[in-house]
Structure 1
Amino acid sequence: MNRKIKYSITDLKKWDDEKVIAMISEKAEELQLGLFGENLSIASEAMVEFNAVWNLQECVNQDGFDFFFLSYGIDYGKIAVKGFERIGAGEYKKVTQVAMEDYKNVDYTNITEPHGEICLVSSDFYDLTGLEFFLIKYIRKNYEEFVIK
């Protein structure tokens, strides 16, 4: 990412769903990393939650809930849960909440392999479909929440 991501509501409206999600996720990552002197503090709650949902999905699909919670923590998981609720992805919210409860009950200090219960919940997450549908449906109704001025 060498360039600052910029787009307008007009851009979001004319782009296809794939590009909309790609651009918003790139902008959210740019803010999360604090590039160009900006960070997520200038973003709307919806964009912060989008970023958490997107990061959770990528981590869980790649390495499971263990990896997500070890990388980002429970509090970030709570932000993702709010995001799932915001976009109407109830099953994703439910599975994530179960994973959070399981994670709280495991001592990870000396574990080198993922914990079995969390892996089972990760499998439940993999079985879910339609997250991008929920995201794009919300974005298309709330463009202004995803534009940084």
Structure 2
Amino acid sequence: MTTVEPMASDVADLVRNTLSAHKSMFLATSGSDGPWVGGVYFAESGPFTLNLVLEDRGRTLAAVRENPVVSVVVSTGSPMQPFLQAQALAEVVPADDDALVRDLLVAKVPEAGPFLAAPVTAVRLSVRKWRATDIPNGWLPGRELPGPLPGPRHP
């Protein structure tokens, strides 16, 4: 297998394409109950902002409130297909952004509609940088796509 160093635009394209091709991801948190990984639906509003909802009484939301630094994996589950990994900062969205997050989510993942009727809280993840891995194309180790400089985040 020959390794060809990808251009930054190739990494950005892989990140964008992988995000748009997936409706769910794995979200890892760590709170006083210890580390936890759960699957969640998400909708991206740009390559570095992910929108989701979490159960009000769930372990994941409790951990996010204790420690907003989380990790994500966007993958089919097969290491032989492109996948993304990242660390992100999670924030419970203000009440005036709640409807927007829900609208973005149901637009991408219509089957999430019934879940939104349950007691859930809207959360936004700000990704610091993506690590994109594409083993068949020689991206092992994965390639990084740095996020924007810290500042106000908008959907």
TM above 0.5, yes or no, is no
- Which is richer in strand? 2
> What's the TM-score, normalizing by structure 2?
0.27
Question: Which structure features the higher share of helix residues?
Answer: 1
TM-score, with structure 1 as normaliser:
0.28
